Amino acid sequence: INVFPDISIYHFQRGGAFLEKFNVIDPDIIITECILPDMDGVELLGILDEKGSDIPVIMITGGGNKKVAIKAMKQEAWDYLKESLRKSENRFRDLADGISDWIWEIDAQGGYTYSNSRGEKVSGYPLDEIIGKKFYDFFSEERRVVLKNRFLQAMQAKKPVLDFENRIDQKNGNSLILETNAVPFFDKAGNLLGYRGLHRNISKRVQMETALRESEEKFRKIFEESPIGIALFNPKCQLVDANRSCLNIFGIANLADVIGLRLFDNPNVPDRVKTQLIRGETVNYETPYNFEKIKKQDLYKTKKSGTIFLEVNVSTRWLSLNKKNSFNGYLVQLQDISKRKKAEKRIKKLSRQLVKTQEMERQRLAFNLHDNMAQDLSTLKISIDTLLMDQPDASVKTRETVSKLSQMTNRIIMNVREMAYDLRPVDLDRLGLVKTVIRCCEEFSEEHNIEVDFFSGGMDEIKLDFNTEIILFRLIREALNNIKKHAQATRVVIRLVVSFPDIILRIEDNGIGFNVINRIDSAFNEKRMGLLSMKERVAHLNGKMSLKSRPMGGTKIVIEIPFEEENIGQKENSLNYR
């Protein structure tokens, strides 16, 4: 009643009571016991028949006998049973024809005795051609004998046929792959009458499985043969797979020994990387990998020792499920870059040696220019200036010529001294870096009418090697030279401060600015060495240089040079010169 709320059920103990209410309740169906307290079911059927009722009657004959049942059938109760059976058959037929699978029945010899309408669509044959054909008549010719024998073996054993994959040829010549499931049915004596089952078209599924398998095989081949180390971790950060290159990098003999190893348990993974990965970020970094830490923690067995350098890329893996992304772990790619790091270290060492050699050569040339050529030129100028002192009668023309020679010699002396200063600022040895920069800023401001605001902090309290001092000085000189040539600025701000563990140099102007990318590209193509030279010098000191600029927005250069000393004073020097 709860399932069918629109149904009303009336219950009567006696047939007479039912007949009294018959016209009132007007039932759609009557269910009655064969034997009632005041009459039997057959009598009730007779009375209903006399009333001209055609309402279906179901008679429960549990307490009666065969004779009573026959009487009930004669009273047309059988009509309802036949109607019920007919409805049941129609229901089955509708279901069978509406299903997407081919439902069938074969006899004990393998001939089709029934097929739903789907069989026609799957095979391409009309139903009247399917009925009577043997099941193996549809098998593709190249596999027909093998498939036929396998199916017949199951029939001989009277066993169900489960997940039987077979290929059939359609009437139009195309092929399909079917998955067959069937069960045997028997007569009362246990003799096999045939099989009932269904064929399901799995051609698309098989194609997808084949494509997936080929793709997996291709990936596996790439994975195994890749010279790059690859490791896969599940969402719990546990290792699930790694290729041979990865195992070789870490000196691991067998993959099974490290399956389940947690990524975040490795002491060589920096904390900042762990934080980024937890946030779901992709991380690319270079890092030293110390095997002694691994051995101390007894994380895994390795044949390697010491420290190597790795380039590591860690990305999160995601699966698309129901249009939503599902986290599926981490993909780690890594390369041993120890040889590259050693080569870079050698190159840096050679570069520093080259710079040092250049500075030594500059020093030698500067001393020669200053102590030899400049002195000789000064002596020459004195000689020219005194040339006519004992010749009062010398002509005006002669005196003018001698005066011009003196002026020319003086210009040469100034140029030589300037060249010597550019090659080796003697003030660095005599005054130190800060005071030399102050003097440089004063001269720049006076010569080019550009305001220079210079400030230094902590620099007088540290001891720098001459190589670092000369590079810092040349960076400032080069920046001022670029401002003079290109910036059209009226003001420059220079800050040189110690902020452990770095020395920070900041140079900013209020000039016309430029597009940074375009300027660097053009400087490289035209072999202009201003900015490129500055970057190269900073790299020699293992420093970093950033450049910010925009058209009509000025330019800002920030340079950070590593510095080891921790005891830094606070002495400050400043200059605002106009």
CATH number at residue 440: 3.30.565.10
One domain for residues 437 and 529 = yes
One domain for residues 329 and 348 = no
Among 425, 448, 447, which Cα is nearest to 436's?
425
CATH number at residue 313: 3.30.450.20
Per-residue confidence band for 217, with pLDDT thresholds at 50, 70 and 90: confident
221: in domain: no
Q: Are 440 and 483 in contact (CB under 8 A)?
A: no
Q: Is this prediction's pTM over 0.75?
A: no
Which domain, by its residues, includes 180? 99-207
- Mean local confidence (pLDDT), 207-233: 89
Q: How far is CA 463 from CA 64, 459, 562, 568, in A?
A: 121, 8, 13, 10
One domain for residues 437 and 414 = no
124: region left, alpha or beta (phi > 0 left; psi from -120 to 50 alpha): left
427: in domain: no
> Is pLDDT larger for residue 49 or for residue 311?
311
- Mean local confidence (pLDDT), 295-309: 93
Name the token pair of 151. 């199916």
- Mean local confidence (pLDDT), 139-152: 93
9: in domain: no
One domain for residues 457 and 570 = yes
- Mean local confidence (pLDDT), 335-361: 85
Q: Where are the beta strands (DSSP E) in 422-551?
A: 451-457, 491-499, 502-509, 544-549
Name the token pair of 489. 């600025």
Buried b (16+ CB within 10 A) or exposed e, 375-403: eebeeebeebeeeeeeeeeeeeeeeeebe
How many C-beta atoms surround the C-beta of residue 292 within 10 A?
A: 11
491: in domain: yes
Q: Alpha helix locations (H) across 167-290?
A: 203-225, 244-249, 271-278
How many alpha carbons fall within 13 Å on the CB side of residue 422?
8
pLDDT at position 368 over 90: no
Provide the percentage of residues in the chain whose pLDDT is more than 90.
48
Last residue of a domain, one of 149, 176, 207: 207
Q: Are 306 and 292 in contact (CB under 8 A)?
A: yes
> Is pLDDT larger for residue 360 or for residue 80?
360
One domain for residues 192 and 74 = no
pLDDT at position 320 over 50: no
What is the rounded distance in angstroms from the CA atom of residue 370 to the CA atom of residue 381? Answer: 15
Name the token pair of 145. 């004998």
Across the chain, mean pLDDT equals: 84
94: in domain: no
Last residue of a domain, one of 369, 392, 420: 420
480-484 CB contacts, 8 Å cutoff, 24+ apart: 480/440, 480/441, 480/444, 480/452, 481/530, 482/530, 482/531, 483/450, 483/509, 483/511, 483/555, 484/444, 484/448, 484/450
One domain for residues 356 and 407 = yes
Q: What proportions of the chain, in percent to the nearest 5, are helix, strand and coil?
A: 50, 25, 25
Q: What is the pLDDT of residue 65?
A: 54
Among 454, 414, 448, which Cα is nearest to 436's?
454
Name the token pair of 442. 């004063």
One domain for residues 332 and 352 = no
Give yes or no for a cis peptide into 501 (omega within 30° of 0): yes
Q: What is the pLDDT of residue 564?
A: 63
Name the token pair of 196. 């009932």
How many alpha carbons fall within 13 Å on the CB side of residue 377?
20
Q: What is the pLDDT of residue 520?
A: 66
Q: What is the pLDDT of residues 72-129, one digit of tens each?
A: 555 554 554 555 556 666 666 777 677 889 999 999 999 999 999 899 999 999 999 9
Strand 451-457 to strand 572-577: parallel, antiparallel, or no bridges (unpaired)? antiparallel
482: region left, alpha or beta (phi > 0 left; psi from -120 to 50 alpha): alpha
**DSSP conformational letter for 553:** S
Q: Alpha helix locations (H) across 368-465?
A: 374-385, 396-423, 426-431, 433-448
Edge-first strand order for the sheet with 491-499 is 544-549, 555-562, 502-509, 491-499, 451-457, 572-577
One domain for residues 108 and 78 = no
331: in domain: yes
Provide the percentage of residues in the chain whose pLDDT is more than 70.
86
Q: What is the pLDDT of residue 87?
A: 65
3: in domain: no
What is the rounded distance in angstroms from the CA atom of residue 343 to the CA atom of residue 66? Answer: 105
One domain for residues 108 and 199 = yes
Q: Is 388 helix (H, G, I), strand (E, B) or coil?
A: coil
Q: Are 467 and 349 in contact (CB under 8 A)?
A: no
One domain for residues 403 and 274 = no
What is the rounded distance in angstroms from the CA atom of residue 246 to the CA atom of residue 333? Answer: 8
Among 573, 450, 449, which Cα is nearest to 508's?
450
How many C-beta atoms surround the C-beta of residue 575 within 10 A?
A: 18
Element (H, E) at 512: none
One domain for residues 508 and 406 = no
441: in domain: yes
Strand 57-60 to strand 30-33: parallel, antiparallel, or no bridges (unpaired)? parallel
One domain for residues 313 and 234 = yes
Q: What is the pLDDT of residues 165-202, one digit of tens each?
A: 999 999 999 999 999 999 999 998 999 999 999 999 99
Q: How many structural domains are present in the chain?
A: 5
157: region left, alpha or beta (phi > 0 left; psi from -120 to 50 alpha): alpha
Name the token pair of 150. 């396998």
Query: What is the torsional sign of CA 563, 564, 565, 570?
Result: positive
Name the token pair of 272. 């900042």
Edge-first strand order for the sheet with 229-233 is 239-242, 229-233, 324-336, 307-321, 283-290
Listed in sequence order, the residues at least 6 apart from 415 whose beta carbon sits closer than 8 Å to its beta carbon are none
Q: What is the pLDDT of residues 457-477, one digit of tens each?
A: 988 888 888 788 888 998 999
Name the token pair of 500. 């452990």
Last residue of a domain, one of 173, 207, 241: 207
